[in-house]
Structure formats: C-alpha cells, structure tokens
Amino acid sequence: MRTIQFREAIVEAMSEEMRADESIYLMGEEVAEYNGAYKASKGMLDEFGEKRVIDTPISELGFTGIGIGSAMNGNRPIIEFMTFNFALVGIDQIINNAAKMRQMSGGQFNIPIVFRGPTGSAGQLGATHSQAFESWFANTPGLKVVVPSNPYDAKGLLKSAIRDNDPVIFMESEQMYGDKGEVPEEEYTIPLGKADIKREGTDVTIVSFGKIIKEAYKAAEELEKDDISCEIIDIRTVRPLDYETILKSVKKTNRLVILEEAWPFGNVATDITYKVQNEAFDYLDAPIVKLNTADTPAPYSPVLLEEWLPNSKDVIKAVKKVLYI
C-alpha cells in the first residue's frame, strides 16, 4: 500500500468526489490560486477550474452563507476555513441556518455541505488561533462533527462527509498535514459515527481523537514496558458518537482515561464520562480520569504552551492512577 501525506489524502477525497458529482465545489480563502493555505487543495484549480474551486475574500460570514444557500438549491459545497478559529465569524450561519434549516423547513431542504479546516493549537499561534471548538459544534442538533487523526481515516471520512445529506463539520490540524500514512489507491469510505480500536489492550481503555491521540500512543508504548496493556480508541466522529465501542471496551478493561485537546469544562470527555458511568458503572474499578488543556486561553510562550497541553506523561500518570499504582 502506498504512503501519502494527510494533505494529499484530503486532496484525493475532494477530487474523487468532485469528478463523480458536478454539484460539488470547493470555496474558501486561498484554496485556488495558492493551492490552499496548507496545500490541501493542490492542483484542484487546474483540474476543475475557477467555477468549482473558488477563492473568496476574507469574509467567513459571507462565503459560509453563500455555501448554505447554494446547498439549499441543489449543490454540495465544501467550505474551507483557514482555521476553525475564523469560523466564529460565520458561526451564526452554521448554527442558525445550516443546522436548523431541515427542521425549520419541514424537511423541504437538506443542507449537504461540508465545513472543513484545522482545529486546535498548532504551536505558537496565540490564544485566538489555538482553540478547539469540537464540543461547541457537537452540542448543536443538526450538525455532524468529524475529527480524523491520520491520512487513511481522513480520506475515508471526508468522502463520507461529502456524500452526507446533512451539514458536516470536518476538523483537521495544521500539525497533521505533513503526517504520512498508508492509504489504498482503490475506492473506500469510512462510515460516520464509527469509532476505531487503534490498539488492543486489557488493563485500561484510553479514548481520544484528533492529533492529541499521538500522546496516547506514546504513553501506551512506555506503559507496555511495565506490562501495562492499554486499549486505545479513536472515536473519529464526535457526533454521532460511537458509545457502544467505548462501553464494550470499558466492560473489558474496567478503567477509562479520556484524552482531549479542549478546555476542561463541558467538553466531549465530559459527555463520554457521563455516558459510561450511567451505563457501565458496575464495571468500573476506578473513577474515570479525563485529561484536557489548562482552563485558560492558550499561552504564546512555548514553555507555558507545553504545560498547557496534555501530553504522554500526563497519560501515563492517569493510567497509573486508575490502576492504583
């Protein structure tokens, strides 16, 4: 199987779907002439032309609304945000129009649209460019939220998101675009709402998603040296969330650590914690531990940023805590 970069998987997913369906187009800042701010649309302008790969002004509110309106009229837009931090400028369109139009129109309008771009921190970008809003969007009925962690999942999930008849928030990372992974050349998709067990284990379940899951992998490698077996679940889709896979794993390992790059109050880990204690309480041999960022805006200082983010050492400490070691 060939190895390609995360950004190449994104390009392939969009291009393959655009070749198959002329109603699909890509719109956003620098997606055309510049090949994408992170080169995640490289070569697409040359193949599909300026009517289907569209550069926009710096006006997220405007092109978000245009995309939603065109989806109501039979198109299937892919709207790229240079970062989801900038999506806040257009969030009224996403929450009050894209997410609600199907219900408010009595089912007359589907909104088959994908909003995609990077989420979370990406080094020293400051507080306003380092935010993770997965839980914000997942809290909204009518939206699906996808956060892949590797090229294979990214391609398969993005193709499914583009084909979906409801609005999908597809969240990537600047720090993952250069990541490499095996991706088949043949056609494949990954269904939304299905988690993946990335590593089998027996002693503790670690649940995570997005780029921060790499810290779980590092921790599991270290813990294995102490004969501690970690099962790692990548939820991949935040909404709909695959609770069944998580519950099944917890009933096997009897312990749960959740790793998420997000502020600690009211996040995805909070919801998973409630679900597990509600439906698998008798299987738990220790309280659930959730690992998040510090409860502050992201610092610019590299030293402070390192402390602000959860890391593999935090995961190791949490695993040992639930194992009473």
Q: Which of 129, 172, 174, 261 is catalytic?
A: 129
CB 165 within 8 A of CB 76: no
Q: Where are the beta strands (DSSP E) in 81-189?
A: 114-118, 144-146, 168-172, 180-182
Q: Quick check: is 60 catalytic?
A: yes
Distance, C-alpha 98 to centroid of its chain: 19
First CA to last CA distance, the chain: 41
Distance, C-alpha 230 to centroid of its chain: 22
Q: Quick check: is 129 catalytic?
A: yes
CB 46 within 8 A of CB 32: no
Residue with tokens 């701010």: 37
Q: What does the alpha-carbon distance between residue 290 and residue 293 come to, in Å, rounded to a whole number? A: 10
In Å, how far are 25, 70, 78, 136, 240 from 143, measured between CA atoms? 20, 17, 15, 10, 9
In the chain, the amino acid numbered 296 is: T
The contacts of residue 17 (CB under 8 Å, 6+ apart) are 24, 159, 162, 163
Angle at 149 between CA 147 and CA 154, to 5 degrees: 70
DSSP symbol at 90: G
Q: What does the alpha-carbon distance between residue 251 and residue 241 come to, in Å, rounded to a whole number? A: 18
Residue with tokens 């810290």: 215
Q: Which of 12, 17, 29, 60 is catalytic?
A: 60
Rg (CA), the chain: 20
Nearest to 217 by CA among 130, 289, 149: 149
* Catalytically active residues, by annotation: 60, 129
